[in-house]
Structure formats: C-alpha cells, structure tokens
Structure 1
Amino acid sequence: MSLMTPVSRRSPRWAHLWPLALFLLAVLAGGAWLWHLWPQVMLKSILWQREVNQQMSGLLQAVAQNPARAGGSLLIFSFVYGVLHALGPGHGKVVIATWLATHPSRLKASIGLTLAASLLQGLVAIGLTVIVLSLLALPARELHLSSFWLEKGSYALVGLLGLMLCWRALKKLRLLLRKPTFIAFTPHHVHHASCGCGHQHMPDPQQMTSDSDWRARLMIVLSMGMRPCSGAIMVLLFSKVIGVFAWGVASALAMAAGTSLTISSLALLVHSFRRIAVRMSGHKAPALWRQIGWTTLALAGGVILVVAAVIMWVSAVPVGRGMRPF
C-alpha cells in the first residue's frame, strides 16, 4: 500500500499549463486595450505627423541656405522621425508580428527581414520620385496617386501571403490528421527519434529553417516595403522643389534606418515572447498540441493576414487625406 500513489495527490492533466494560459490571457487583454484606444492613437498620430512635417520643411529650407550647418540636423531629425514614425499603427508591424508569432524563426533571419523591408521602403520612395518627377516629368499629383496604388499593391501582397500560409498549414494538418503519429505513453516510456509521442521542447532544425523559403521571405519583404513612406515622399517632393534633392534622398535613407531600428526591436520582442510560450508549454503540454497545435497557430496567422489585408484594402485612401505610418 505504501508503494501506491494516492489519486488525490496526482496533478491534474492541465495543471502545468496555467502559466501559458496566463500568458495568453495577458496577450488578449493587451489586444483589447489597444483596440479600445485605436481611434485616439490614429488621431494623435496624424496630428503629430503634421507638426513634424512642418519642422522637416523648415530644416530643408535651412539646408538650402546653408547645407554645411543644417545638413547634420536634418539627418538626425530624419532618423528620429523614422524611429517614432514606425511606433504608430501600420501594416508592416502586423505582417512581421504575425509571422514571427505563428512560425518558428531564427532571430538573425527575422532581423534580416525587417532590415530589408525598411531599406526597400526608402528605396521605393526615392525611385518613385525620380521616375515620376524627373524621368516622366509628371505633376506631384501623379506622385501621390502612384504611391497610393503601390500601397494598395502591398496590401494585396499581405493577402496573398496570408493565403499561402493558410494553404501550407491546411496541407500539413491534413497529413497529420490522416496519418497520426502519436503513440500513447506507457508507464516506462522512452523517447526516441520515431516514438511519435510528440515530445518537443523547441522546433527541430528543419522547422527552424522553414522560413528560409524564398517565396515567403520575398512576399514578407515586398508586402512590408513596397508601400513608400508618406514622410519620405513629402521630404523628397519638397527637396525637389527647392533644389536640394540629394539631401532629400539622404533624409529618406535616414528615415529608413530609423524605421528599421523600431521594427527590428518589435521583431526581437515578438521572437522572445514566442520562445517563452514554447518553453512554457514544453513537454507539459498535451501531445496532441505538440503535434498539431503550432500548425493550427500558423493557420490562424494566415487568416489574420487575410482579414487584415481586406480591411486595409477597403479603408485605403489616396495619400494626402492623412499620413499613415509604416
């Protein structure tokens, strides 16, 4: 009798999952709070950007009069603008946060995606300004219209990325459900490579390199960076008018550098939270979750991107009715 363990002393099957449940509850509470404050955040963002744009115009005028004295101030201000500008709501953060939260990824690869997307955003703004204003000699109105359609195109890519992630997750789920690999635990279960128990603390090396698919990476970078920054367009346009376009290009690249810093910090934060969630679940989570749970989460991420793309496509307005951040 002394060798038998009383049933009342055994931990419930789900008792070890309470830290993960608290973590998910905190995430949901934070999302609800942000949703409640979203209209105020958007209004404050528009008003703040108008004030900053006026200061940027003043710095460009100062550069036109004395480049050696005002050039450094312009670049520093542009970098800080890029950092703060990226803190506001924008589709780039939705893409990278959803991808990192629902797919295993190495931190180095994640930071590389954010850097490439930020650089592309600055280069698209510069290239668009050169093509429309210099090569085609079109009015500024066409520059804003072209920027608007590039924005719509980036939203379409977000939707395509979401559909691709949904398709991949559904195929994997179908395979798992048709050919389950789980074998029930025995009293003296020994883990091995093909035991099928679902025991896994972290994604295996093959899963960690799943984000190396060039199609997924390319769509992430294009969907984040194809839309030119509204602030960079304003700076390039005004610098072209007053004859300091080279300084406008330098300012746009400084903005891109500042944006990359903020988005990379977000990527680091989301990546860290995902690792915490994986460790909290670990071998204590049910085997069924370890087999299909993360794939289901990837499916949810794809659905989120599709819904976000539809909302942004419908709500998009031509540039000029309000500045929207990265």
Structure 2
Amino acid sequence: MSKYLIVPVAIAIAVLLWFWGSGGFDSLAAWAAGEQREFQNQIARALRAARAEQPAAIATLLMVCFAYGFFHAIGPGHGKVLIGGYGLGRNVAFLRLSAISVLSSLGQAVTAIVLVYAGVLIFQMSRESLVGATEQVMAPISYGAIAAIGLWLVLRSIRSFARRSHSATTPQHSHHDHGTCSSCGHRHGPTAQEVAQVGSLRESVLLIAGIAARPCTGALFVLILTWQMGIAMAGIAGAFAMALGTATVTTLVGWTSFGLRGGLIASASATRFASVLAPTIELVAGLIIAVIAFGLLMRAI
C-alpha cells in the first residue's frame, strides 16, 4: 500500500515548489511583518496598562506577546529552516523533534533575559547597544552553529553512501539475510532496525544551542521596556510567552518535515531506490541548511 503514498507526497512537494517560485513565501513574510507591527503597538498599550495595574493587563500582555511570537516566527529566522531540514534529513523520533523545537524557542527567551539583565545591570548598556550585540555577536555564533549542523548532515550522508558502496562491492557469504528480496536476492532498502536510528543527544543539544544563541529582538524590546518601567517580571513572562508563540510555528514546521520524510521513505520502500533515498534526503537537507546559514553568516560579518 505504501506505493499509493507517492501521489500525495509528489503533490505536496509540487505545491511547495510552486508556492516558493511564485513568491508566496515573500508575501507571507510581508503579511507577517505587518501583523507583527500591529502587535508591537498592542504590546506597548498592554505594558502601559500593566504599569497602571489595570485588571487583566498581564493576561492581555501575555496573549499579545504569544501572538507576536507566532507571527514573528513566520518571517525569516527562528530556526525554521534548521528544524525543518533536520527533521527531513534525519530519522528523528517525533517527540524528540517536537522537544527540540520547543526547547530551542524557550532557549531564545533565556538568552534574551540573560543578555538584557547582564547588559543593563553589569555593563550599563543601552537598548541600541544590546540589539547591536545581538546582531554583531550572537547572530554570527548562531549562524556558524547552524552551518556546522548542515555540514554534519552532509558528512553523515557521504559516509552512508561510502558504506553502501563498500557493502555492494564486498562479497556476502551469509545465507541468513532476511532483508533480501525473494525474487532477485538483493536488498532494496535498509532494515527496520537501521531505519529506526534517531539523532543523538549531542546533535539535539547543538541544534538547540544554535537556534537559542540569537534571541528574538521583540523579547529584547519587551524586557528592556519592562525593566525601565519597573515591571521586570511582566517582561520575563512576556518573553517566555513570545517563545511559546514561536515554538508553535517551529513545531509545525518540524511536524511537516517529519511527515514528509516518512511519506518519501514509505513511498520508495518497495523500490530499488530505498537504500539510497535516506542518505540522499540527508545530503540535500544538509546542503540547504549549510548554504542558507553560510549566506546569513557572510551578511552578518
């Protein structure tokens, strides 16, 4: 039955390519930017209400911050390419990929809090200096880590191709390989145990750190304002609410990549291309991540 998945997977890929080629993602980012500006105004009003201790002001602030984080994450950045590419390139467990998405977004909030309060309390930095430090120091670190992950995926895929090539040229003396095809005597794909391999904890930590290294500028804005207004805890809560809004988008991207990879692997499981499809997907995903990250890194420095 898996061969019937080829059609919906092909349609999904075609729709994504058409949406990309027609400038749909640019229009989506422009729309999200407009919504983001409106939410910035609402955040400012909610902060003034919170300072005046108006009823339900904090709840309103948290809801607006969550919405800001959601719409802000639709635009460029926030690790969507990394989460999506990693979920597509590696056979990561569903719950692990979801946890990476959420923890990386929460990590951005933690980075923003540490940066702001270290900056204003220890180094007496202004808002402009903090944003400048984010763009000039934290952003290159984040892009460099993301590029390293992309290169790691590329290296893994090349090693996988090399192992398969070696296996294909090495005589097989075992007569108990239950993964062979009954009609031709050759393996068409990896075993269930081989496919079940998931990303390591080290990869997960590097992913989270790479995304979390660059905090959201919206969180910096809220944290600095609330510190100046004397309602610091409201700002910290707002930063985490933004992170949860961002996590909603990155998690959806991760789920989409997880489903797309599963569909592609299942579609080809009964064909002779199954053994090379997984490393090919990993190679393409790694190249996309590395190229985009290196491009952003060159712009940042």
Q: TM-score range by the shorter chain?
A: 0.7 to 0.9
Q: Does 1:152 align with 2:136?
A: no
Hey, what does 1:267 align to over in structure 2?
Answer: 254
- Cα drift, residue 20 of structure 1: 2.5
Equivalent residue for 1:34, pick from 17, 20, 32: 20
Root-mean-square deviation (Å): 2.8
Distance 2:20 2:191 in 1: 30
Distance 1:272 1:42 in 2: 24
Distance 1:65 1:220 in 2: 41
Q: Is the 8 A contact 2:223 2:232 kept in 1?
A: yes
Q: For residues 66-113 of structure 1, what are the alpha-carbon distances to aligned partners after superposition, in whole Å with 9 as ceiling and x for unaligned?
A: 154311111122222223332333351101111111211211111111
Hey, what does 1:281 align to over in structure 2?
Answer: 268
Q: For residues 138-177 of structure 1, what are the alpha-carbon distances to aligned partners after superposition, in whole Å with 9 as ceiling and x for unaligned?
A: 1222101111121221111111111111112112211211
Give matches, 1:101-120, under 5 Å.
101-120=88-107
Give matches, 1:159-174, under 5 Å.
159-174=147-162
Hey, what does 1:12 align to over in structure 2?
Answer: none
Q: Against the structure 1 CA distance between its residues 152 and 203, is the aligned structure 2 distance closer, same or farther, given a 3 Å change threshold?
A: farther
Larger Rg over CA atoms: 1
Higher mean displacement: 75-84 or 234-243: 75-84
Higher mean displacement: 37-46 or 94-103: 37-46
Q: Is the 8 A contact 1:182 1:197 kept in 2?
A: no
Q: Is the 8 A contact 2:5 2:266 kept in 1?
A: no
Hey, what does 1:197 align to over in structure 2?
Answer: 186
Q: Against the structure 1 CA distance between its residues 182 and 50, is the aligned structure 2 distance closer, same or farther, given a 3 Å change threshold?
A: farther
Q: Against the structure 1 CA distance between its residues 295 and 261, is the aligned structure 2 distance closer, same or farther, given a 3 Å change threshold?
A: same
Gaps in structure 1 of 5+ consecutive residues? 1-15, 318-326
- Cα drift, residue 215 of structure 1: 2.6
SS at 1:86's partner residue? helix
Hey, what does 1:4 align to over in structure 2?
Answer: none
Hey, what does 1:50 align to over in structure 2?
Answer: 37
Distance 2:52 2:17 in 1: 47
Distance 2:195 2:54 in 1: 51
Distance 2:205 2:178 in 1: 37
Q: TM-score, normalised by structure 2?
A: 0.86
Q: TM-score, normalised by structure 1?
A: 0.80
Distance 1:231 1:198 in 2: 52
Q: Does 1:231 align with 2:218?
A: yes
Distance 2:248 2:3 in 1: 35
Gaps in structure 2 of 5+ consecutive residues? none
